[in-house]
Structure 1
Amino acid sequence: MLGQNRLIFPAMITVMMVVLVVFDLLLSFIISFTEKLV
């Protein structure tokens, strides 16, 4: 169980980082898209 937790914890951090980066890219893409429309 401890060995699994050691693997899961860094995986969760990397997943959160990837989600944040993707969200940031999506946000900037939406902002540029709306600026083109206006």
Structure 2
Amino acid sequence: MNNLRFENEILQETFKDCYSRVSVQEENLKSMDKKHAV
């Protein structure tokens, strides 16, 4: 049971990491779009 919980925490950390990277990429794309629009 303890082991499962540990793996779950790793998955959550990985998910947060991936999610934050995606958010950053989206922000970069938005700023790029603004530059192209101008």
Structure 1 residue 37: Cα displacement: 0.3
Question: Aligned residues: percent identity?
Answer: 8
Distance, in Å, in 1 between the alignment partners of 2:9 and 2:36 is: 41
- What pairs up with 1:1-38 in 2 under 5 angstroms? 2-38=1-37
- TM-score in terms of structure 2 length: 0.81
Letter in 1 for 2:7: I
What runs of 5+ residues in structure 2 fail to find an aligned partner?
Answer: none
Aligned residues: 37
What runs of 5+ residues in structure 1 fail to find an aligned partner?
Answer: none
